[in-house]
Structure 1
Amino acid sequence: MNLSSIHDMLHSIIPALDLRSCLVSVQGELIYQHYRNEEAKTRIAKINSCTKSVLSALVCMAMDQGKIPDASTPLSFFFPEVQTDADARKPQITLEQLLTMTAGFNWDEFGGQNSFPRMTRTDHWVHFALEQTLSHTPGTHMEYNSGVSQILSAILMQQTGMSVNTFAERYLFDPLEITDYEWESDPQGVHTGGFGLKMLPADLLKFGQLFLQKGQWNGTTLITHDLVNRSTTPAIAVSPPNHGYYAWYWWVDTCSAESARFIEDVLPTDIQSTTAIAPSDLALPSLNYYYARGFGGQFVYIVPALELVVVLTNDKRKKEKPPLDVFPRLIAPQLLRYL
């Protein structure tokens, strides 16, 4: 792999997109970094739903330690009160179904009476999430739901006997030397499972590198290889406008050189010439990858075949944002040329 050429390619396309940050690591070496300004480098910022992937990692750690039981464990084990619910399916929702957004709750993430904004205006977020009716048989349909993330955060707190951020500091943040962060919590002191974590881009890169290294960090196993694999293996296909699959709070997808054809018409003219795909490029292999995704352009991409981790962050308003799929449609197709 020609790392110098990759650096030059990235430098030719990333600055013009005005991202808050872009960090690229290959084989554990930081080969490219771009920050809009010094503040973007040194000041923590919201990672939004990338928080879910961090929570997934913490749940895996608690499983490894025997503090959280197997993923097949039913919801009623953690919240016995759901056994009296009118819907007999609810007590049987499994931990894995919470992790894969397939619990079946009737939920509209961003609007309506059963939504994440409505949840945050109640005095007990976890109760609100648990009280929602089911619109699908658990395990059959993926419905994005930050309420189930809050349930999972409460389970982690319940089973470990410590706050989520304390558990994170002890078993994840301290080993990775992540010291600068903030994490919101609900009225009961349960840290937000679906959003609310602020971190530095460089620390997000460490988090991605941990997963690339199958849970190993400086010779120590932070997450077992088996659970890294299980948590990032496709569990269910997602519905449009999303594409690919969902795992345990990780998105999983594939891209090819063909992907770049769908973005060239929305790029500045000077970048279009840099990213043009030649006919010969279309024969290049596809790339499998998985990623954490947060609202507003926060991403952590892991590409095992290239030993690659990419962090993208942004803070622009919707009308000012570059294309959402900067990595799969712009960066990854170029990387295929250096396989």
Structure 2
Amino acid sequence: MVIRSLGSALFIAIFLATTHRVNGANPLPRGTPEAQGISTNAINDYVEALDKIDAIHSFMVVRHGQVIAEGWWKPEAADKPHVLNSVSKSFNSTAVGMAVTEGKLSLDDHVLKFFPADAPADPSDNLKSMTVRDLLTMSGGHDTEPKPVDGSPSVKQFLNSPVVHQPGTHFLYNGMGSYTLSAIVTKVTGQTVGEYLKPRLFEPLGIENADWPSSPEGFSLGAHGLYLRTEDIAKLGQLYLQKGRWNGKQLIPETWVQDATSKHVENDKEPHANIGIDWHQGYGYQFWRCTHNAFRGDGAGGQFVVVLPDQDVVVAMTAGGANMQAELDAIWEKLLPAFQDKALPEDAAAQGKFKQVVAKLEVRSAKKDK
């Protein structure tokens, strides 16, 4: 009995050592799936489902604050930064929340207040009533999303685009609005969003070398462009799961976390709704609501940080043009039903299979329409 117990303990130690790729400062703790109430067989089923989706790059599953499974499809790697696309918006929103907490702005501030030199000569009533809150909820009032000229976003172009709807009443996914939020943070702090977040978010979470380019106007792109590692994405989700608290310190108020991840506007009639059912669940402050009482940061091509509060779980995924609803379905179908309230007996055979499967993962390019 003692020998068997020691052997099991030795296997678990080896399992953790071979799956734990320590990167950057303050890595998340690691554990086995069984120790956190899910079987490794369920994890293997999840990885198998992901591997059937073209262009998957990575995944990380965190439960009760511990990484219980992680993997990268070669040539992707744990220490390789990945473009987040619109998951950047959730980091941008976090910067807005921190600036609000510091009293530098209010959600009810009118957008024109920050850009008197960029406003049209005769702004419409709708534009004059547009607030920071409206930008956060993608309900600024545009009927058509303003597009950057020559690839460079412009606050002036955003403000001079027709505001057809009363702000707060019409959801339209609007990257230029997110960029304008980034510009507002810079206006009130004197720093780009990337600079502003470094001591307040990146350093406390142990996120190193965050790469977030700026526009010719000098503002972080806000809507996209941020490069981070898979574990960095998971840490943002874990921070929100922990209601803004990290290592005993409240980085963002619990009230902001609740507000930012709650449904503020219907989004089931906007073009993104064609992606799948999880684009019908409402929108918060640059966070999407999901089925199963979950919420997420979400980026084109398959970038995700999905938070399941009821299960105390965070799932991060990156990809290069994957079927995004299929990525979420893999969570709902393979992981969600398998989470248990108590620890399970360790399964050395399933854990060994997991290591073998993950070691062989290789990126399969997304199929292109002929």
Which band: TM-score by shorter chain?
A: 0.7 to 0.9
The answer for unaligned runs of 5 or more in structure 1 is 109-113, 255-286
More strand by share: 1
Q: Deviations over 1:190-230 (max 9, x none)?
A: 01010111111111111111111110110011000000000
Aligned match for 1:306, one of 291, 311, 314: 311
The answer for unaligned runs of 5 or more in structure 2 is 1-36, 340-370
Q: Deviations over 1:30-73 (max 9, x none)?
A: 1111101264322112100111000001111111111222x122
Moved more, 21-30 or 85-94: 85-94
Corresponding position of 1:80:
116
Note the C-alpha offset of 1:185: 0.9
Note the C-alpha offset of 1:170: 1.2
Note the C-alpha offset of 1:14: 2.9
Q: Deviations over 1:309-338 (max 9, x none)?
A: 01111124xxxx3x3213432221233422
Corresponding position of 1:232:
261
When residues 37 and 76 of structure 1 are mapped into structure 2, their CA distance, relative to the original with a 3 A threshold, is same
Contact 1:153 1:164 in 2 (8 A): yes
The structure whose Rg is larger is: 2
Tell me the secondary structure at the aligned position of residue 42 of structure 1: coil
Corresponding position of 1:54:
91
Contact 1:253 1:290 in 2 (8 A): yes
Moved more, 32-41 or 294-303: 32-41
User: CA RMSD, aligned part only?
Assistant: 1.8
Instruction: Tell me if 1:253 matches 2:290.
Output: yes
State how far apart, in whole Å, the 2-side matches of 1:329 and 1:11 are.
12
Note the C-alpha offset of 1:83: 7.9
Q: How many residues align?
A: 293
Percent of residue pairs identical: 30
Residue pairs, 1:113-192, within 5 angstroms: 114-115=146-147, 118-119=148-149, 121=151, 125-192=154-221
Tell me the secondary structure at the aligned position of residue 98 of structure 2: helix
Corresponding position of 1:333:
333
Corresponding position of 2:345:
none
Task: Work out which structure has the larger RCO, using CA pairs closer than 8 Å and 6 or more positions apart in sequence.
Answer: 2
TM-score of the pair, normalised by structure 2: 0.75
Alignment-mate amino acid for residue 335 of structure 1: L
State how far apart, in whole Å, the 1-side matches of 2:259 and 2:320 are.
32
When residues 206 and 73 of structure 1 are mapped into structure 2, their CA distance, relative to the original with a 3 A threshold, is same
Contact 2:302 2:327 in 1 (8 A): no
Alignment-mate amino acid for residue 80 of structure 2: R
State how far apart, in whole Å, the 2-side matches of 1:163 and 1:38 are.
32
State how far apart, in whole Å, the 1-side matches of 2:151 and 2:219 are.
15
Corresponding position of 1:195:
224
Alignment-mate amino acid for residue 235 of structure 2: K
Instruction: Tell me if 1:243 matches 2:272.
Output: no
Contact 1:235 1:245 in 2 (8 A): yes
Q: Deviations over 1:109-153 (max 9, x none)?
A: xxxxx42xx34535x611111111112111110111111111110
Corresponding position of 1:96:
133
Note the C-alpha offset of 1:89: 1.9
Alignment-mate amino acid for residue 139 of structure 1: G
State how far apart, in whole Å, the 1-side matches of 2:162 and 2:317 are.
36
State how far apart, in whole Å, the 2-side matches of 1:92 and 1:120 are.
29
TM-score of the pair, normalised by structure 1: 0.81
Tell me the secondary structure at the aligned position of residue 23 of structure 1: strand
State how far apart, in whole Å, the 1-side matches of 2:233 and 2:150 are.
26
